[in-house]
């Protein structure tokens, strides 16, 4: 608690905002509260929120933060400061969720967010993990068509409204969900447009986006502006599931980069505020004078945005924001959220608490200089072992499919819920045949067409070197690609295991979908990981450097 004044000062610096001047009588003050990338984290996520240490700016510290119980209290306390308020989100509320939410198809998260007063959310790419029909079920309610009702009460659907302005049903030519919602504050209308990133088909299973078109973000918003103005609406807020990367990683602005920057610069000047997400970063920036915010991930931060609306014009006269850390020691647990979570935990406990093995030491998901992580190596090894009967000789794992470090408890005990937190997508394993030349093409796609490099995690026995100084498409050092110490020949046929997401060309690894042959579909990835632990008893991190980086 001694550091609290420093935290407050630091957050004000990160947000770059000054306290708003006393409100003029000809304006209406509106408070917008915002989250993004909640990903079903009903309980506080491991690690909390990492921020710059106020005692030593060269270091970072982790603050226990997040979780639905504490987030609900933070929302209640902040909105009590202004009767004109709205709670919104910028997508990925569900998907890649911990077991407590995923086991019930994310119904607990939808219920939790509705209970705490969420009003509007953009759709994110993870809202399409299980397809558009499942997204619409979460919106409208009803039992799962295959699994039935599994929760403590019938699922009534979202109390909040999902928006999908740029996601078009190709059969009808219309958005699959409303493009915008209009809220009125003391008679002044404010439009909230919601949409997701146009590259969603590149990062979601093809079945999840079948029959859908994802249109350009800025063009979609700009086309709606005349329609809104014909309704007399001048105040426009965009909720977009796309984001940026602060220069230092601590939310500093200027210096924001990434896809959100050109999108905002292309937006019609009528757009007053952009609330973003997707990159799991925290920032409050101004791009060409326009306020752009993002509140990290997992409910660890809550964006507090204050708008002044001009009574005469109906437009936004002033906008300021800050990100509030949802500290578990400062925001009490909300009792209604506790009851909801405990009801689902009682149902999930037999599976979630099942012991699967032990860890000799924690497995981090942080990548080293060459792109490898201890967790990634373990998962690739587990998938190789699980598909030996299909002739697998090597396995590749996408780093985006690894969502949390694997630590176990104080004694190293690992439970099923720990495995699921680390690898929550429940993808089937697919073993395919590639030639050596085709495998090389896959590995070169780690840098080609990617917003940021995506270094595939590789199984034991596969090794290669890459050179950052070489051009994209030629970064693998010639002759370095080896299997069990032998150089892989271009014509050599290999059996390669990947998850179904990668096999379908996910994360822009199109060579896997285009070239893979003789496919054999095996067990689910989470089952492979559990089987690996059960056979090993105690798992130790590997220390072999399978990937070498030059330059």
> Band of the pLDDT at 57, cuts 50, 70, 90?
confident
Q: Which carries the bigger pLDDT value, residue 550 or residue 254?
A: 550
Of 45-49, 216-220, 241-245, 469-473, the poorest mean pLDDT is in 45-49
Amino acid 450: pLDDT: 76
Q: What are phi and psi of 320, to 5 degrees?
A: -140, 155
Query: pLDDT tens digits for 485-508?
Result: 999 999 999 999 999 999 988 899
> Band of the pLDDT at 401, cuts 50, 70, 90?
very high
Query: pLDDT tens digits for 185-202?
Result: 999 999 999 999 999 988
In the predicted model, what is the mean pLDDT of residues 544-551? 94
Amino acid 251: pLDDT: 72
In the predicted model, what is the mean pLDDT of residues 447-461? 91
In the predicted model, what is the mean pLDDT of residues 143-168? 95
Distance CA 31, CA 85 (A): 5
> Band of the pLDDT at 21, cuts 50, 70, 90?
low
Share of the chain above pLDDT 70, in %: 95
Q: Is 292 helix (H, G, I), strand (E, B) or coil?
A: strand
Is the pLDDT at 8 greater than 90? The verdict is no
In the predicted model, what is the mean pLDDT of residues 130-159? 95
Bond prior to 254 in cis (omega within 30° of 0): yes
Distance CA 401, CA 416 (A): 17
Please name every residue paired with 121 in a beta bridge, in sequence order, or none if there are none. 89, 162
> Band of the pLDDT at 360, cuts 50, 70, 90?
very high
In the predicted model, what is the mean pLDDT of residues 462-467? 98
Is the pLDDT at 182 greater than 80? The verdict is yes
Number of H helices, E strands in the chain: 15, 29
Amino acid 504: pLDDT: 87
Helices (H), 186-251: 200-203, 217-230
Is the pLDDT at 302 greater than 80? The verdict is yes
Amino acid 437: pLDDT: 98
Amino acid 47: pLDDT: 85
The domains located in the chain, with CATH, are: 4-341 (3.60.21.10), 356-550 (3.90.780.10)
In the predicted model, what is the mean pLDDT of residues 285-292? 96
Distance CA 501, CA 132 (A): 17
pTM here is 0.83
Please give the structure tokens belonging to residue 458: 């590789």
Query: pLDDT tens digits for 217-238?
Result: 999 999 999 999 999 999 999 9
Is the pLDDT at 174 greater than 50? The verdict is yes
Is the pLDDT at 395 greater than 70? The verdict is yes
What order do you get walking across the sheet with 517-524 strand by strand?
Answer: 457-458, 394-397, 493-499, 428-435, 517-524
Per DSSP, 515 falls in state H
């Amino acid at each position: 608690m001694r550091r609290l004044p420093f935290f407050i000062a630091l957050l004000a610096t990160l947000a770059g905002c000054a306290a708003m001047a006393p409100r003029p009588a000809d304006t209406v003050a509106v408070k917008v509260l915002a989250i993004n990338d909640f990903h079903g984290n009903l309980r506080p996520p491991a690690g909390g929120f990492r921020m710059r240490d106020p005692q030593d700016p060269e270091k970072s510290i982790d603050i226990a933060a997040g979780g639905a119980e504490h987030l609900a209290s933070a929302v209640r306390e902040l909105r009590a400061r202004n009767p004109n308020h709205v709670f919104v989100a910028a997508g990925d509320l569900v998907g890649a969720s911990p077991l407590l939410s995923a086991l019930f198809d994310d119904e607990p998260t939808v219920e939790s967010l509705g209970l705490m007063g969420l009003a509007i959310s953009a759709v994110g790419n993870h809202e399409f993990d299980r397809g558009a029909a499942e997204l619409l079920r979460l919106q409208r309610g009803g039992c799962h068509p295959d699994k039935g009702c599994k929760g403590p009460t019938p699922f009534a659907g979202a109390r909040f409204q999902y928006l999908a302005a740029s996601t078009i049903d190709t059969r009808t030519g219309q958005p699959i969900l409303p493009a915008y919602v209009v809220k009125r504050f003391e008679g002044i209308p404010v439009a909230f447009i919601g949409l997701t990133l146009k590259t969603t088909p590149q990062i979601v299973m093809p079945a999840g986006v079948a029959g859908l078109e994802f249109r350009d973000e800025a063009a979609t918003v700009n086309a709606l502006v005349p329609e809104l103005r014909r309704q007399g609406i001048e105040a426009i807020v965009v909720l977009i599931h796309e984001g940026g990367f602060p220069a230092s990683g601590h939310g500093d602005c200027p210096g924001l980069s990434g896809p959100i920057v050109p999108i905002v610069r292309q937006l019609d000047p009528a757009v007053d505020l952009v609330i973003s997400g997707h990159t799991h970063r925290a920032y409050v920036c101004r791009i060409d004078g326009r306020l752009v915010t993002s509140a990290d991930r997992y409910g660890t931060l809550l964006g507090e945005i204050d708008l002044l609306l001009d009574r005469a014009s109906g437009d936004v006269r002033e906008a300021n924001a800050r990100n509030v850390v949802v500290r578990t020691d400062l925001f009490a647990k909300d009792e209604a959220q506790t009851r909801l979570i405990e009801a689902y935990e009682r149902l999930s406990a037999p599976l979630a608490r099942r012991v699967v093995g032990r860890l000799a030491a924690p497995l981090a998901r942080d990548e080293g200089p060459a792109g490898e992580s201890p967790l990634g190596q373990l998962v690739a090894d587990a998938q190789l072992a699980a598909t030996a009967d299909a002739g697998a000789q090597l396995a590749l794992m996408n780093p985006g499919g690894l969502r949390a470090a694997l630590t176990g408890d104080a004694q190293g005990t690992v439970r099923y819920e720990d495995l699921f937190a680390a690898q929550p997508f429940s993808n089937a394993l697919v073993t395919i045949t590639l030639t050596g030349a085709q495998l090389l093409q896959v590995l070169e796609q780690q840098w080609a067409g990617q917003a940021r490099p995506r270094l595939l995690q590789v199984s034991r026995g596969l090794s290669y070197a890459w050179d950052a100084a070489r051009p994209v498409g030629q970064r693998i050092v010639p002759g370095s690609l080896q299997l069990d110490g032998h150089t892989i020949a271009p014509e050599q046929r290999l059996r390669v295991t990947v998850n179904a997401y990668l096999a379908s060309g996910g994360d822009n690894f199109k060579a896997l979908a285009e070239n893979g042959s003789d496919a054999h579909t095996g067990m689910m990835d989470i089952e492979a990981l559990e089987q690996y632990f059960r056979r090993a008893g105690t798992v130790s991190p590997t220390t072999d450097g399978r990937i070498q980086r030059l330059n």
